[in-house]
Amino acid sequence: MVEEKLDVLSQMMAEHMAMPFPPGFRGLDIEDQDMVMLDADAYGYALGVLKGPLDEQRGKGLIRLTAVFEKVLPAIDDEYATRYYTHVRDLAALAAEIQTLREK
């Protein structure tokens, strides 16, 4: 089951890389979150999960990051950016799910 989820995560990451970054979101903070860093952090955690289990500190960081999206997404008022960051949230959530499955 983990292997199948890793395949889906890999595909989602490829899709993410093909999506242009939302115009006007470089240097933008929403709910005290730098939108470039939010994107980069989510991708970085997902990449780490693809390579293997995260250490405890990074695992907790991934869980905290997934919660950030619950504050940020409702505050985005751009249709494309909402789609983009929803995809990023889904990517981070799947990475967190895989991390949790590995810990069991």
Instruction: State the virtual CA torsion across 80, 81, 87, 90 in degrees, nearest 10.
Output: -140
Write the pLDDT tens digit of every residue in 15-47: 999 999 999 999 999 999 999 999 999 999 999
83 in Cβ contact with 25 (< 8 Å): no
Give me the mean pLDDT over the 58-81 stretch. Answer: 96
Q: b/e map of 16-29 (b: 16 or more CB within 10 Å)? A: beeeeebeebeeee
DSSP state of 29: E
Task: List the chain domain ranges.
Answer: 2-103
pLDDT band at residue 100 using 50, 70 and 90 as cut-offs: very high
Q: Which two tokens stand for residue 45?
A: 């955690």
